[in-house]
Copies of this chain bind each other. A is one copy, B any other.
Amino acid sequence: MAKRSGKDQPVVGVDLGGTKILAAVVAADGALLGQAKKKTKADKGPLDVLGRMATTIGDAIEDAGLARKDIAAIGVGSPGPLDPESGIVVVAPNLGWKNVNVKAHLEGEFHIPTFIENDVNVGTLGEHRLGAGQGVSDLVGIFVGTGIGGGIILDGRLYQGFNKTAGEIGHMVIVDEGPQCGCGNRGCLEAVASRSAISRMIREALDKGKKSLITDLIGKSASQIKSQALAEALRQGDKVVTEALQKAAYYLGVAVAGVINFLGPEMIILGGGVVEAMEDFYLAEVRKTVVDFAFPNAAQGVRIVAARLGDNAGVLGAAVVARIRLEQEESAAA
């Protein structure tokens, strides 16, 4: 019998978010074998969060009825920027982190190879291996939430670029001299199409005295309107919300068309909380805008689809990261 390789063993995927930590034990075929969840409690400091991550991982392994020795690797999806080589999260504003070595801490705890990757790349890799992008060689994942991030798969692998920063589609300018972006520039895609941008457009309409259902759903003061509230107002045909969403989806479509003209991938995967709450609307609006803005011969046959992994995207993607890195290390050692 062949020696059992790490390739066949389950791995743990961890989704480190600003409010909660999710962990899941994932089989080689992508099946979820066990899960656990804890609050992040970032205010208690990095060491405390790392401890809670370790507990969550342990709980997920137990939930799967397995022992630590059964786990081949741990993958962690984290806000970035981060350094996948050293395993250090360089800066994570919503955690209040600077230079936190996640890899060293978890390897010290579990004695299992541990890998980290930024959450957008994790989302893209997850969709590529287990979600909407299976079998596709070249794709771009775009995730719309509070901000907008992206990941690029070329020739079946994550494309990271010269400084390992590739994928920041949220910070391509599409409206020169447009609205202020969190990055300091103006008119980036993120400044006109993210949930923050949609919230801003709706607030501006309300400030002008326009009426909207959204005030009943969220109150007038909310600076970030939740995706579910946007979806509900859209469903009810609210004019203010619909116009803001159409504008945001149009800008997203313009950016997608630009990516198709410039890079020409086989597939564009749209995900993130905003898109997932209004999938049909977003797909229709983006596809329509792409017809207007991409060259027909560049767009021909290019699939624009919704992400599939939903709430499990983080843990499944992190598990994919763990498995890919393990494969790379095994093939490098062979």
**Interchain CA distance A192-B173 in the complex, whole Å:** 14
**Interchain CA distance A150-B169 in the complex, whole Å:** 18
- CB distance B171 to A263 under 8 Å? no
- CB distance B176 to A297 under 8 Å? no
- CB distance A174 to B176 under 8 Å? yes
Contact of A263 among B152, B155, B175, B178 (CB under 8 A): B152
Residues of B within 8 Å of A152, CB to CB, are 262-263
Interface size, chain A (Cβ < 8 Å) = 48
| Chain A 156-170 interface 0/1 with B at a Cβ cutoff of 8 Å (1 = within) | 000111111111110
Interface residues of A in 118-136 (CB under 8 A from B): none
Given A168-B298, A261-B168, A293-B185, decide whether A162 and B174 contact each other with a Cβ distance below 8 A.
no
Interface residues of A in 292-319 (CB under 8 A from B): 292-293, 295, 297-302
Q: How far is the CB of A334 from chain B (nearest CB, A)?
A: 22
Closest to A177 in B: B175
Given A154-B159, A185-B293, decide whether A166 and B254 contact each other with a Cβ distance below 8 A.
no
Contact of A165 among B150, B168, B173, B295 (CB under 8 A): B295
Copies in the complex: 2
Closest to A266 in B: B162
Residues of B within 8 Å of A261, CB to CB, are 165, 168-169, 171-172
Q: How far is the CB of A201 from chain B (nearest CB, A)?
A: 14
- CB distance A162 to B292 under 8 Å? no
Given A163-B302, A295-B183, decide whether A262 and B173 contact each other with a Cβ distance below 8 A.
no
In order of increasing CB-CB distance, the 5 nearest A-B pairs are A161-B264, A172-B258, A166-B264, A165-B298, A162-B266
Can you spell out 7 A-B residue pairs with CB atoms less than 8 angstroms apart?
Answer: A150-B262, A155-B155, A162-B266, A172-B172, A176-B251, A183-B295, A259-B262
